Structure 1
Amino acid sequence: MKKNIILPLTLIAAAAVTASCNRDEDMPQLQSNTIMIENVLDSKPLVESGTFKGTGTPPVILPGQSVSFSFYAAKNQRLTFATMYGWSNDLFFAPANPGIKLYNDDGTPVTGDVSAQIKLWDNGTRMNQAPGAAVMHPGTAETAVKNIKEVNGMDDFGHSYLPASQLMKASLSYDGNSEFTITLKNASGGTANETPFSPGVWAVSYTAGGDLLLPEPVYSAGKPSMNGLTGIAEMGDITMLNTWLTQHTGIFTPLSPVLVVVYNGSVNPFYKTGENDRGEGLKELAQKGNADILAAALKTKPGVKNVYVLKDAANTVLLPKINGAAGGKVAQQLSLLPGDRIAIATMYGFSNDWFFATTGNDIDGAQKGDVTATIGLFDNGTAVNQYPGAGVTQANLAGTPLQESKAIQVVPNPNAFNTLPAVGGMIKVTLQ
């Protein structure tokens, strides 16, 4: 009897092992991939820069004439400029650093007369003659180059000057939506310091953490003239300094902590172009860089397997490349089954409600290498847009977004304010 019992049990055990092997072969195999997101933007410290000039030939600004130009600025940002005191050897007008204050302490825009913030400066490269039409250009070089110095009533050679605010009148108007217009008027006519003003340059610096990225782009008091300012101070030639400012003008933005979602399905679980924000937390990500609310909502959705919010270890946000230093990056190991897809989202930090996100069918978990081509830049449609990096209502620049309700759309490039780099010039996503 024992022999008869043992034989069937042996057969059953063998069959069970065989069935188990077959089931293991049929089971989908987990694979481990690592996703990496990097801020690869080669950032620039100036939001905007430009030039101004008179309308005549040569294009100087004569006594009684005015010139105006417009620009965008957020709280804590300043406007600076430089133009030559034409009937001098190397004097120039410029605001005291870091530039003209554009917002009051309560956040309201400054308007009206800001002439008191304008100063007269000695470039320190030419010996000063008595100012006037008889001045010879470029004149005699200083025996040793001096540092830039404010001319406060009298220069080092005993020549007298009225305060700059009596020779140049500067007036600000606010055009709305973070845009200002400044008008510079030559008020020197009939004074002891009558002079034309040369063409000039101007600039507005980005701020990060409340600090200007380039607080003295035109000159530094107490230091030698640099970057082409001498061309303006001696000859009214803006070419070199304008070139330098242009090279330092462009895009700067951090990326917010990155939302990464692993899901099984064919539809992105948190947004669709042409539809309004769903009220699940994408608005908070797009406006303020807060991905936690959307992450919590996604964890309850069918088909969503894992949700991560990736923060840069050093800065929380992913900073761009600054002065050649590498930009911020985050990485996460993912466990993926065949058919799994990956969606990501991160805020274009210096915007009102723009966000980067995967497009189409998102990222196939089986892909390898650079998958940046799946990323697009979108307008969430929940906040009124302003100049990126210079909007007074941008949350990351100490502002409160102005609410609106529009469908999510691709951010056009060029947009209404500037031209952005290609998406791949701002963010890089790889899957290994």
Structure 2
Amino acid sequence: MKKSILKSFMALSIVTLLASCDKEDMPQAQSKTITVENVLDSKPLVESGTFKGNGTPPVILPGQSVSFSFYAAKGQRLTFATMYGWSNDLFFAPENPGIQLYNDDGSPVTGDVSAQIKLWDNGTRVNQVPGASVMHPDTAETTPKNIKEVNGTDDFGHNYLPASQLMHVSLSYGGNSGFTVTIKNISGGTTNETPFSPGVWAISYIAGGNLLLPEPVYSAGKPTANGLTNIAEMGDITMLSAYLTGHTGIFTPLSPVLVVVYSGSENPFYKTGEKDRGEGLKELAQKGNAAVLAAALKSKAGVKNVYVLQDPANTVLLPQVNGASGGRVSQQLSLQEGDKIAIATMYGFSNDWFFATTGNDISSDQKGDVSATISLFDDGTAVNQYPGAGVTQANLAGTPLEENKPIQMVPNPNPFNTLPEIKDMIKVTLQ
């Protein structure tokens, strides 16, 4: 009896010991939360600049012309301003929101667009008879008036030809969303002969079908602002140019974020130097659609969990706008020792760029700000255009032009512009 009890006790002890050892040897899962934020301090203008004549002073005399180039997507507009030189405070500018650059069928507008240019009164000076004898800046308005179109005559009864008979504006298209505009002074020999001053120009981003800054230079029916008076009265572009430059930069949303927990030595969905694997990264990089890649990854060896994180308010993660916080998503993860985390999200206003973890991705034992693991890549599946101004960018209602190149890191500067540092666009933390 004693022997039987002893044998049973020993057997139970061995089982208990083995179970205890197995439990101690098993990797212990830990809970951490990954957070991805769009921390870009966005700007509403995709491009802006200045133009001037070649002489001294750099005015554009009758018979002379000036050209400059820019990029634009469908729905974006070109605006500019230049002084009617022989006036007290008049300026030429397209009627807001600016010159239409694409036809309704998506084809670029080319040729004469002079009919879209108007003559405007800045409302800050009493108008003299226009001509070479005008005194600058002369008498100020007792009470400044709102900006008003000069349509035939001004408030003082002085006559003016239509702007299109004084200024000829034409567009040419160079392909890949690139335009060149030429402004020619054709006022010579008319009753309103005048030089044009140096000028400023701008292109606004468009998001959700709306221009982010639809009236960057002036607003009809409102007081002049931001240095426009200096152009209208003196042809001085310094202040308004600085204002536009300060509002020019980068704007991009981030697509819903793909988060992958896996065990293994290599990122499960891409490798630099290799071409897109056809598993869904193309759809993420071109259109921000992570669903196809997420579905493919769920059946891959070593992949433990796959998540697609959407901003609850906007689906995409919008950047910071006027000081308001950008989009942010979080996900609680169950991690074991040796696990890794890979993420990917589209640079929304591109043809096929995506942010992704690099190197060994994010290790499960890391903690805090892990943004240093993120880089920006070109998927190599679509022809690149100016970020935020590409007519074939899917998120700007375009159809990407296909190409077939290896995945590479996006250089900075890139062929179009200079981007902020990665850490100033996307922040990733693991807590």
Match of 1:17 in 2: 16
Query: Equivalent residues in 2 for 1:294-313 (5 A)?
Result: 294-313=293-312
Q: CA deviation at 1:225?
A: 0.3
Query: Equivalent residues in 2 for 1:204-219 (5 A)?
Result: 204-219=203-218
Q: CA deviation at 1:4?
A: 4.4
- List, as ranges, runs of 4+ consecutive aligned residues in structure 1 with deviation greater than 6 Å: none
State how far apart, in whole Å, the 1-side matches of 2:357 and 2:396 are: 26
Structure 1: gaps of 5 or more residues: none
Match of 2:45 in 1: 46
Secondary structure in 2 matching 1:185: strand
State how far apart, in whole Å, the 2-side matches of 1:385 and 1:22 are: 57
Match of 2:391 in 1: 392
Work out whether 1:348 is the aligned partner of 2:347. Answer: yes
State how far apart, in whole Å, the 2-side matches of 1:361 and 1:5 are: 56
State how far apart, in whole Å, the 1-side matches of 2:184 and 2:73 are: 25
Q: CA deviation at 1:10?
A: 2.9
Query: Equivalent residues in 2 for 1:38-77 (5 A)?
Result: 38-77=37-76
State how far apart, in whole Å, the 1-side matches of 2:421 and 2:27 are: 38
Comparing 207-216 and 24-33, the one that deviates more: 24-33
Per-residue CA deviation, residues 149-171 of structure 1 (Å, 9 max, x unaligned), is: 00000100110101011110100
Q: CA deviation at 1:18?
A: 2.6
Q: CA deviation at 1:7?
A: 3.6
Work out whether 1:89 is the aligned partner of 2:88. Answer: yes
Match of 2:361 in 1: 362
State how far apart, in whole Å, the 2-side matches of 1:301 and 1:258 are: 19
Query: Equivalent residues in 2 for 1:242-321 (5 A)?
Result: 242-321=241-320
Aligned amino acid, residue 136 of structure 1: M
Per-residue CA deviation, residues 233-274 of structure 1 (Å, 9 max, x unaligned), is: 000000000000000000000000011111100111111111
Q: CA deviation at 1:11?
A: 3.1
Per-residue CA deviation, residues 105-135 of structure 1 (Å, 9 max, x unaligned), is: 0000000000000000000000100100111
Comparing 422-431 and 93-102, the one that deviates more: 422-431
State how far apart, in whole Å, the 2-side matches of 1:310 and 1:224 are: 45
Comparing 13-22 and 207-216, the one that deviates more: 13-22
Per-residue CA deviation, residues 325-349 of structure 1 (Å, 9 max, x unaligned), is: 0000111111011000010100000
State how far apart, in whole Å, the 2-side matches of 1:127 and 1:280 are: 68
Query: Equivalent residues in 2 for 1:101-180 (5 A)?
Result: 101-180=100-179
Secondary structure in 2 matching 1:159: coil
Per-residue CA deviation, residues 174-204 of structure 1 (Å, 9 max, x unaligned), is: 0110000000010111111100000000000
Aligned amino acid, residue 101 of structure 2: L
State how far apart, in whole Å, the 1-side matches of 2:206 and 2:367 are: 37
State how far apart, in whole Å, the 1-side matches of 2:375 and 2:344 are: 10
Secondary structure in 1 matching 2:390: coil
Match of 2:332 in 1: 333
State how far apart, in whole Å, the 2-side matches of 1:406 and 1:57 are: 49
State how far apart, in whole Å, the 1-side matches of 2:6 and 2:338 are: 44
Aligned amino acid, residue 322 of structure 1: V
Secondary structure in 2 matching 1:420: coil
Secondary structure in 1 matching 2:144: coil
State how far apart, in whole Å, the 2-side matches of 1:412 and 1:131 are: 52
State how far apart, in whole Å, the 2-side matches of 1:161 and 1:44 are: 37
State how far apart, in whole Å, the 1-side matches of 2:413 and 2:366 are: 31
State how far apart, in whole Å, the 1-side matches of 2:337 and 2:268 are: 18
Q: CA deviation at 1:24?
A: 1.5
Per-residue CA deviation, residues 377-396 of structure 1 (Å, 9 max, x unaligned), is: 00000000000000000000
State how far apart, in whole Å, the 2-side matches of 1:347 and 1:354 are: 6
Secondary structure in 1 matching 2:96: coil
State how far apart, in whole Å, the 1-side matches of 2:27 and 2:176 are: 55
User: How many percent identity over aligned positions?
Assistant: 80
Q: CA deviation at 1:213?
A: 0.2
State how far apart, in whole Å, the 2-side matches of 1:331 and 1:250 are: 28
Q: CA deviation at 1:296?
A: 0.5
State how far apart, in whole Å, the 1-side matches of 2:126 and 2:14 are: 104
CA RMSD across the alignment: 0.8
State how far apart, in whole Å, the 1-side matches of 2:342 and 2:69 are: 40
Secondary structure in 1 matching 2:159: coil
State how far apart, in whole Å, the 2-side matches of 1:27 and 1:49 are: 60
Secondary structure in 1 matching 2:156: coil
State how far apart, in whole Å, the 2-side matches of 1:264 and 1:309 are: 19
State how far apart, in whole Å, the 1-side matches of 2:13 and 2:56 are: 101
Q: CA deviation at 1:25?
A: 1.4
Structure 2: gaps of 5 or more residues: none
Match of 2:229 in 1: 230
TM-score by length of 2: 0.99
Q: CA deviation at 1:402?
A: 0.2
Per-residue CA deviation, residues 59-93 of structure 1 (Å, 9 max, x unaligned), is: 00001111100000000000000000000000000
State how far apart, in whole Å, the 2-side matches of 1:64 and 1:344 are: 58
State how far apart, in whole Å, the 2-side matches of 1:15 and 1:66 are: 95
State how far apart, in whole Å, the 1-side matches of 2:68 and 2:174 are: 12
